[in-house]
Amino acid sequence: MKTDNTPMFVHSARPNLAVERIAAILEVEWGISGSLVDVGGDRDQNLVVTTAAGTSYLLKIGQPDETHGVLDMQLAALRHAAHQDPGLGIPPVIPKCNGEYLHALPADAGGRWLLRVFGYVAGKPIGTGPRPPALLREIGSTMARLDRALAGFFHPDAGHELLWDIRQIPALRPCALDIVDGGQRDRILRILDEFTETVLPRLGGLRSQVIHADATFENILMAGDPPAITGVIDFGDVMHGPLVQELAVAMADTTSGLDMPWQAACEVAAGFDERLPLEGEEPALLWDLARARLALTVSVLASRAAHRAEGAGSMESDMIAYQDQLDAFDAVGRNRAFLELRRTLRLPEPVTVGGSDTETETARLVARRDERLMPGLALFYPEAPFHAVRGEGMWLFDADGTPHLDCYNNVPHVGHCHPHVSNAVARQTRALNTNTRYVYDSVLEYADRLAERCPGELSSVMFVNSGSEANDLAWRMARTWSGHGGALVTAGAYHGVTEAIGALSPYDAGEDFHHPHVARITPPAGDGRGADEYAADIDRAIDELTSAGYGIAATMIDSTLASDGILDAPAGWLETLFARVRAAGGLCIADEVQAGFGRLGTEWGFEALGAIPDIVTLGKPAANGYPLGAVVTTPAIMKMFAERTDFFSTFGGNPVACNAGLAVLDVLDRDGLRAAAAEVGGYLKERLSALGTRYEAIGEVRGRGLFLGVEVVTDRGSREPAPEATARVALAMRRAGVLVGIEGPHANVLKIRPPLVCERTHADVLVGALDRALRPG
């Protein structure tokens, strides 16, 4: 019954059948008799039926031009949801005696009325009284639960056009012209137009399904003290649409009248999100969607008030309430609203487009960092700190959304935020996370997979949470096994942060190194000297420790020799070292925290160096960023250690870490990343070496696979280290969008260690950026 060019029942009056007539139909068609009370409604005539036995029903009569298909869809949706989740508290649809759900009655003005009967749901509408946060979250949670129940529902009429669908805003814009107050009218029109232009086009890309679409304070029922949700009623707006619209409606229409409605709305969102996590753009659109819902409601009410014969009536006060709600949302504003939502839902930091604003925000974070964290905690690029907000594959995005090619980070081993790993972590955190004092399969599957990848007898595994812890445990094992206390490490070695391992990390100590139980050996310089030429130095170190009474417990070697400057050890060097350490009664520990999992083109770095250790330590890349460390050793060493200690790590080997680790191995194997590291690494080294012939500032290009070092010097003849030039080049590359690190005892080696998903095209980008950074002027 359209009264002008405004669509979709905006102005239609509700049916008004005589109660006696309905009672008679109810008795004949449904076999239900009782007293009937007309309880009003927006578009429908609603009557509560109470039988003599005290059972209540709701009888609904819709508009005469409602289509049979749409009503059939609504009732089918109700039945579907009730079947999927019987505890939801949605009204049961009561069939007629003949099994049908709808009864057609010729309408006075042509067409027909369609009658349907529902069972009664206990509780009263949540209304606009006090709504504690727990109730607000339950509202969101209930709507999410309903949507989960509706997720698989299909009906050809679910795509019908609906008055209250936010996507109808362009068609309903004329309604806003009926707003009497000129200022208010302009403001509502602005909101509607802005929505049409900037938000509406984005909705088409969001996940959609059949939704209830009308979670108002009248349609959600509660009971008890403290109140709990008992059900959801009124399926008259059921439609197919963006899932997030369900939540936006609930946020707008269940929080009015509260002190801080947006904060309350965020609680509703939190409840929804816990049951049905928001995705992609959905959270960022919620404020706009909720506001659009309110603006649309104000427009429709104004238009009804202007056109209905009976006048504005109670619509006036409703309209004021919705306008107040809109004022409250507007007072918060889009940015603060999103921040509030982010905090409540614990959403990750978003990309915020807006040059100078993000710079200020980054500076603020740096200042807060200095104040709150360890002062002077090292920061990459202190002149231009990198504010990272998102990672994907080879790319790190800054707060402005600018992608940077990440040629530095080896922790995201199979690429930043690899979906296979992220999904494994997310799913396992939802299922179970506990410790190895319980029995579960992932820790064993992961240990098996690690053992399979290790040569010889390296097949017993213990889990910890970092490279440092793995080295600490390995060192304890070696001391326990050997009964000795001395260690051999390279002069520039770094192995971690614990007190014991700090002593085995002379990398930045220089003359201040005072750990008599640790002997520093000369790292192999890759200067043409053969392995034998290092033997004397190794013997010297062993003698030193033996004569000081420590004896040899172990040598610990990082197979990349990273902090020594990323050096190319001559063939046989590691074998020589290991043989002499074993002869002195010590164990050989390969610190594979940097080199492991295929980075050098072989599964383990020690394989590339041609020697097999007694203990392997793993960390950094193992779980693509989820903390996970491991020690792999021989069954004999593990058994001995178990007998003499009572070692346990609370987080070590937890199911989430193990699933993350397993997912990394899946990707490594499936995508052949070890072979790719050898291939792309070889190509990159060739290109960097070619660049080296063109610039005096490049001394050597070293390393293998995807762990390369470019030595920066004053001139190739003297090979005098040039740390300032190195820092300048790294900063210039960062400004050009390529991230590399700085390494070595003289801080003059560019450290190139990208995720293993690095391809030749990425290598080309890196080489191009380095070329430009080295160019004079």
Question: What residues make contact with ligand PMP under the rule CB under 6 A?
Answer: 466-468, 471, 494-497, 558, 562, 591, 593-594, 619-620
CB of 654 to ligand PMP, least distance (A): 16
Beta bridge partners of 555: 488, 588
- C-beta neighbour count of 419 within 10 angstroms: 12
Query: What tokens appear for 169 in the block?
Result: 């805003």
Q: How far is the CB of 558 from ligand PMP (least distance, A)?
A: 4
CB 500 → ligand PMP: shortest distance, Å? Answer: 13
Residue 246 C-beta: closest distance to ligand PMP, Å: 43
Nearer to ligand PMP, 255 or 624 (CB): 624
Q: Report the amino acid identity of residue 752.
A: I
Q: In b/e form, how buried is each residue of 332-353, taking b as 16+ CB within 10 angstroms?
A: beeeebbebbbebbeeeeeeee
Extract the tokens encoding 123.
């509780």
Cβ atoms of 768 and 407 within 8 Å: the answer is no
Nearer to ligand PMP, 706 or 769 (CB): 706
* Smallest separation (angstroms) from ligand PMP to the CB of 621: 10
Neighbours of 210 (CB within 10 A): 26
DSSP 414-466: T-BT-HHHHHHHHHHHHH----TTS--SHHHHHHHHHHHHS-TT--EEEEESS
Q: Locate tokens 């290109």: which residue?
A: 687
List CB contacts of 215: < 8 A, sequence separation 6 or more.
Answer: 139, 143, 232, 246, 249, 250, 253, 254
For the CB of residue 478, give the shortest distance to ligand PMP in the complex, in Å: 15
Report the nearest approach of ligand PMP to the CB of residue 562 (Å): 6
Between 323 and 490, name the residue whose CB sits nearer to ligand PMP: 490
State the residue number with the nearest CB to ligand PMP. 467
- Distance between terminal CA atoms of the chain? 77
Q: Does residue 85 sit in helix, strand or coil?
A: coil
Comparing CA positions, the residue from 265, 289, 282 lying closest to residue 191 is 289
Q: Which is nearer to ligand PMP, 237 or 469 (CB)?
A: 469
Amino acid letter, residue 674 = R
Q: Whose Cβ is closer to ligand PMP: residue 195's or residue 707's?
A: 707
Do the Cβ atoms of 574 and 557 come closer than 8 Å? yes
Q: Which amino acid is at 309?
A: A
Q: Between 391 and 496, name the residue whose CB sits nearer to ligand PMP.
A: 496
Rounded least distance, CB 496 to ligand PMP, Å: 4
Where would I find the H helices in 241-354? Answer: 243-253, 261-275, 282-307, 315-345
Separation between Cα atoms, residue 73 and residue 271, nearest integer Å = 27
223 burial level (CB within 10 Å; 0-12, 13-18, 19+): middle
**Rg of the chain, C-alpha, whole Å:** 35
The C-alpha atoms of residue 465 and residue 651 are separated, in whole angstroms, by 7
Nearer to ligand PMP, 140 or 627 (CB): 627
Helical residues (DSSP H) of 151-281, grouped into ranges: 169-176, 182-194, 200-203, 243-253, 261-275
Task: Please classify residue 392 by burial: count the beta carbons closer than 10 Å to its beta carbon, then call 0-12 exposed, 13-18 middle and 19+ buried.
Answer: middle
Q: 228 phi and psi, to 5 degrees? A: -130, 150
Give the span between the Cα atoms of 258 and 130, in whole angstroms: 7
Calpha distance 90→58 (Å, rounded): 12
> Which is closer to ligand PMP, CB of 230 or CB of 409?
409
Residue 86 and residue 527: Cα distance in Å, rounded? 76
- Residue 500 one-letter amino acid: A
In whole angstroms, the minimum distance from the beta carbon of 536 to ligand PMP comes to 26
CA distance 544 to 241: 76
Least separation, in Å, of the C-beta of 420 and ligand PMP?
Answer: 22
Amino acid at residue number 398 = D
How does DSSP classify residue 157? Answer: G
Measured from the CB atom, the residue of 395 and 494 that comes closer to ligand PMP is 494
Comparing CB distances to ligand PMP, the nearer of 1 and 379 is 379
Minimum Å distance from CB 560 to ligand PMP?
7
For ligand PMP, the closer of residues 591 and 603 by Cβ is 591
Query: How open is the CA angle 59-64-67, to the nearest 5 degrees?
Result: 90
Q: Which one-letter DSSP state was computed for residue 197? A: I
Question: Could you count the other beta carbons within 10 Å of the beta carbon of residue 438?
Answer: 9
Shortest Å, Cβ 360 to ligand PMP: 32
Task: Name the minimum Å distance from CB 629 to ligand PMP.
Answer: 7
Q: How far is the CB of 368 from ligand PMP (least distance, A)?
A: 23
CB of 484 or CB of 495, closer to ligand PMP: 495
Looking at the Cβ atoms of 291 and 620, the one nearer to ligand PMP is 620
Q: Which of residues 233 and 577 has its CB atom nearest to ligand PMP in the complex?
A: 577
Closest CB to ligand PMP among residues 551, 621: 621
**What is the closest distance, in whole angstroms, from the C-beta atom of residue 405 to ligand PMP in the complex?**
21
In whole angstroms, the minimum distance from the beta carbon of 755 to ligand PMP comes to 16
The β-bridge relationship of strands 486-490 and 518-521 is parallel
Are residues 466 and 627 in contact, defined by beta-carbon separation less than 8 angstroms?
Answer: yes
Give the whole-angstrom CA distance, residue 140 versus residue 283. Answer: 14
Question: Which residue, 358 or 468, has its beta carbon nearer to ligand PMP?
Answer: 468
In the complex, least distance from residue 611 CB atom to ligand PMP, rounded to whole angstroms: 17
Peptide bond into 226 cis (omega under 30): yes
Closer residue to ligand PMP in complex, CB, 248/493: 493
Least distance CB 322 / ligand PMP (angstroms): 54
38, amino acid identity? D
Longest dimension (CA), the chain: 112
Nearest to ligand PMP of 576, 594 (CB atom): 594
